[in-house]
Structure 1
Amino acid sequence: MRWALADGWTITRRELIHWVREPGSVLFGLAFTVMIALIFGYLLGGAMTVPGGGNYREFLMPGMFAMNMLFGIGTTMTAIAQDITQGVTDRFRSMPMSPAAVLLGRSFADMIDSVLLLSVLIACGLAMGWQSNGSAGDTALAIALLLMLRFAFIWVGIFAGLMAGNQAMVTAIQTMEFPIGFLSSAFIPPSTMPSWLGAIAEWNPLSSTVAAIRELFANPGIGGDSWVTQNAILMAVIWPLAMIAIFSPLAVRRYRRLSR
Structure 2
Amino acid sequence: MSRLGRIRAEATAATRSFLRRKTAVFFTFFFPVILVVVFGALVRTRPGGGGLFTAPPAYYVPGYLATVVLFTPLSRIGSEIARHRDDHRFEKLATTPLSRAEWLAAHTLVNLGVIGVAAGLILGLVLSLTGAQIPVSPALVLLVPFVVLAVVLFCGFGAVLGRVADSQDGVIAASNTVALPLLFLSDTFVTPSLLPSWFGTVEFLSPLTYFARGVRTVTFVPTGTGLPAPPLGTTGNLAVLTALAVVAFAAGAVAVPRTE
Q: Same fold (TM over 0.5)?
A: yes
Within 5 A, what are the aligned runs for 1:101-180? Answer: 101-128=102-129, 129-135=131-137, 137-174=138-175, 175-180=177-182
What is the SS of the residue equivalent to 1:191?
A: helix
Alpha-carbon distance in 2 for matches of 1:48, 1:78 = 40
Deviation at 1:244, TM superposition (A): 2.7
2:203 to 176, 201, 204: 201
Query: Quick one: which amino acid aligns to residue 64 of structure 2?
Result: M
Whether 1:60 aligns to 2:60 is: yes
Q: Give CA deviations for 1:212-232 in whole Å, capped at 9, x if unaligned.
A: 22221234577448xxx4313
* TM-score normalised to structure 1 length: 0.85
When residues 75 and 254 of structure 1 are mapped into structure 2, their CA distance, relative to the original with a 3 A threshold, is closer
Q: Distance in 1 between matches of 2:54 and 2:252?
A: 43
Matches of 2:76 and 2:144, distance apart in 1: 20
Structure 2 residue 42 is the aligned partner of structure 1 residue 43: yes
Q: Which string of whole-angstrom CA distances, capped at 9 and with x for unpartnered residues, describes residues 52-110 of structure 1?
A: x9863222222211232111222221122111112122221223444533222111111
Partner-residue secondary structure (3-state), 1:100 = helix
User: Does the 8 Å contact 1:114/1:147 carry over to 2?
Assistant: no
Gaps of 5+ in 1: none
Identity of aligned residues (%): 20
The CA distance in 2 between the partners of 1:133 and 1:173, in whole Å, is 37
- Opposite residue 169 of structure 1, the aligned amino acid is G
Counterpart amino acid of 2:149? Answer: M
Separation in 2 of the partners of 1:143 and 1:50?
33
Counterparts of 1:144 and 1:188, CA distance in 2: 24
Of stretches 235-244 and 105-114 in structure 1, the one that deviates more from structure 2 is 235-244
Which of 164, 183, 198 matches 1:181? 183
TM-score (norm 2): 0.85
Contact in 1 for aligned 2:94/2:259 (Cα 8 Å)? no
The partner residue of 1:216 within 212, 215, 218 is 218
| Separation of aligned partners in 1, 2:76 and 2:46 | 31
SS at match of 2:186: coil
- Give me the CA root mean square deviation: 2.7
Give the aligned residue type for 2:79: T
User: For this pair of structures, how many residues does the alignment match?
Assistant: 253
Letter in 2 for 1:192: L
List per-residue Cα deviations over 1:107-140 (Å, max 9, x = no partner).
Answer: 11111111111111112122212242130x2111
> What do residues 137-179 of structure 1 show as CA deviations (whole Å, max 9, x unaligned)?
2111123212221221111112221232422331331122101
Whether the 8 Å contact between 1:205 and 1:236 is mirrored in structure 2 is: no
The 3-state SS of whatever aligns with 1:176 is: helix
Stretches of structure 2 that go unaligned for 5 or more consecutive residues are none
**Structure 2 equivalent of residue 70 of structure 1:** 70
